[in-house]
Structure 1
Amino acid sequence: MFLNIGILLIIGFVTYSIQIGAEGRKTCPAHEEWTVFQRRTNGNVDFFRGWDDYVNGFGECDGDLWLGLESLHQATKRDDMSLEINMMSKGKNDHMWAKYRSFRIGPGSDNYRLHVSGYSGNVEDGLATINNEQFSTKDADHDGWRRLNCASYFEGGWWHDDICSWSNLNGNFNRTGLKGLRWWSGILGTPHALCYSEMKIYNRSAG
């Protein structure tokens, strides 16, 4: 089934295309078994954007991209999708990965709330503290911290709780520390600084 929401999408059985951003802007080929919805490789695409951009999607087909929250909701609302995240540490170039057996994004009326479960990986569970949290951007503050807009402070749209988030793959690619790309390394550890990230979904019931 095609989902005509500014993004054409077929998950699981046949090859499909994804259309990033406004209708008619850009159509990207995609793999028949999985869909990349987030990628950071070189910092050429600005991720410090407003709500509408994060809802509709932006970026380059073969480079940095964000597929769009509405398309993620449509693709995952049947609750049969899994999530895989691949990352590379800055400097050390260590490959890190995290998988979630269940991945679902809520509707826009609930600010695209994140739902994940069934974690496995070779790093800490970087989404544990923001599971069941709403998405925020610099112009749409939905986190639980009344005194601070976490997405604005950390320079990228993401899910945040009442103390923001220890992980943020949509931060400023050209910065280090908490405002850069990072993944949680545990309560006593320093977050992993990253030079690469890719998030992709696949239909776990398709075979």
Structure 2
Amino acid sequence: MTQFEGNRLILFLAVFTHCFVSFGEENVENNDFSFLYKCDWNVYNTTQLLHEMQVKSRIQCAVICLHYQTGCLGFELYKTLSVTLCRFFREDLRKKCVSTSTSTSFFYRRTTPAITTPEVTTAITTLEVTTTASSPCENGGTLISGVCSCVFGCFGQYCQTCINECKDATGVMGLGIAWIKPNGFDVAKKVWCNFDFDVTYLQVREFGNVNFNRSYAEYENGFGDANGDYWLGNKYAHIVSNLRSFKAGFTLKNAMGSQTMVTYFNFVVLDSTSKYAVQYSSVNMIGYPLANNQPFQAYDTVSACAQTLGCGWWFGSTCSSGSPNGPYPVTYGIYSGATTTRIGLF
């Protein structure tokens, strides 16, 4: 059994041992969590945050918090008509908790001590660190009472090992963030995932508040944040896309909810010597030309298209097809007015 297959088993058992009691909206109390207070979902302290993801229910949120063992001391739940979101916190008192009538969330505080399980290693190791260094934990890990509490996706005594892609994070469902670090990465990178369909996203734009008119070096190294709009980075996209045979799904969605997904088969980003040219074998629909075997271009590579559209992309001989990185709302191929774009490998 692999470590992550073991995690799936542990999570499955946790559902029955911890979560057979149904949660209420406010006055929930069971053996593990109790409701503490209402907060504004949009106002929070990022230094307390372990992980954020879409979940199916409050029970799933509680199970995943337990999965973090001593790393998660509380979770926050936010529900709309279409989605349920959960945040996991390192502390049992949520800072910057203010009330609101428009984006009310519910914070649940952990009430029982964590039970450490040797098989569950994706979030925290039970081994005390032996170094005297002030920050012995790697890859975003935090030292808590002599033990490294790891970010989601990394594990080991010093959080020294991370998953290669979102597909490796077995035992979780929905949408959310994970940290990946396949062989060749110089640092662990935070990415948005669709855990149900094993999708690792190279690009996400949902808010339009991140400038995508960047230099070649910035596109190479990545920018933004996976909690919002971001570009993973061409040198990292190259490594991930070469892990196995991938399809790339380009999702385009407008403010009215109309959506399309263009799929490029056998999608791969080449290395820096090829200037991160993209290759693919075919595409599932016409009207979305992506320049095959063309180098990545940005405004400082003397690219007329990058300068005209104000973004980096794999441009062909003309700029007419636009780019998912272009001016917001986005025009790409025959689709215009996209307020959400995602490029995911699966």
With the shorter chain as reference, the TM-score category is 0.7 to 0.9
- 1:118, distance to aligned residue in structure 2 (A): 2.9
Q: Within the alignment, does 1:82 sit opposite 2:226 as a pair? A: no
Letter aligned with residue 202 of structure 2: F
Counterparts in 2 of 1:74 and 1:60: CA distance versus 1, 3 Å: same
2:191 and 2:264 mapped to 1: Cα distance? 25
Return the match for 2:223 from 58, 75, 89. Answer: 58
1:97 and 1:57 mapped to 2: Cα distance? 23
Aligned length, in residue pairs:
173
Instruction: Indicate the structure (1 or 2) with the bigger Cα radius of gyration.
Output: 2
- 1:60, distance to aligned residue in structure 2 (A): 1.6
Per-residue deviation, residues 183-207 of structure 1 (Å, max 9, x unmatched): 212xxxxx523211111002xxxxx
Return the match for 1:182 from 331, 336, 346. Answer: 331
Return the match for 1:113 from 273, 277, 299. Answer: 277
Per-residue deviation, residues 59-113 of structure 1 (Å, max 9, x unmatched): 12121110010011111235611111111135x5411111122101111111111
1:165 and 1:66 mapped to 2: Cα distance? 22
- 1:125, distance to aligned residue in structure 2 (A): 4.1
2:219 and 2:163 mapped to 1: Cα distance? 17
Aligned counterpart, 2:296: 135
RMSD: 2.8
Letter aligned with residue 161 of structure 1: G
1:172 and 1:151 mapped to 2: Cα distance? 11
The answer to whether the 8 Å contact 2:166/2:200 transfers is no
Counterparts in 2 of 1:72 and 1:23: CA distance versus 1, 3 Å: closer
Letter aligned with residue 139 of structure 1: D
TM-score, structure 1 as length reference? 0.72
Q: Which has the higher contact order (CA 8 A, sep 6+)?
A: 1
Aligned counterpart, 1:101: 265
1:151 and 1:194 mapped to 2: Cα distance? 19
TM-score, structure 2 as length reference? 0.45
Larger deviation, residues 78-87 vs 105-114: 78-87
The answer to whether the 8 Å contact 1:79/1:103 transfers is no
1:75 and 1:45 mapped to 2: Cα distance? 23
The answer to whether the 8 Å contact 1:86/1:97 transfers is yes
* 1:14-93 correspondence runs (5 A): 14-15=168-169, 17-18=179-180, 27-28=190-191, 30-31=193-194, 33-77=198-242, 80-89=245-254, 92-93=256-257
Runs of 4+ in structure 1 over 3 Å off = 22-32
Counterparts in 2 of 1:82 and 1:26: CA distance versus 1, 3 Å: closer
- 1:26, distance to aligned residue in structure 2 (A): 6.6
Counterparts in 2 of 1:29 and 1:96: CA distance versus 1, 3 Å: closer
Identical-pair percentage: 23
Unaligned runs of 5+ in 2: 1-138, 140-161, 170-177
- 1:25, distance to aligned residue in structure 2 (A): 9.2
Higher helix share: 2
Unaligned runs of 5+ in 1: 144-148, 174-179, 186-190, 203-207
The answer to whether the 8 Å contact 2:270/2:278 transfers is yes
1:119 and 1:42 mapped to 2: Cα distance? 27
The answer to whether the 8 Å contact 2:208/2:339 transfers is no
Q: Within the alignment, does 1:10 sit opposite 2:154 as a pair? A: no
2:277 and 2:251 mapped to 1: Cα distance? 22
1:150 and 1:197 mapped to 2: Cα distance? 20
- 1:56, distance to aligned residue in structure 2 (A): 0.6
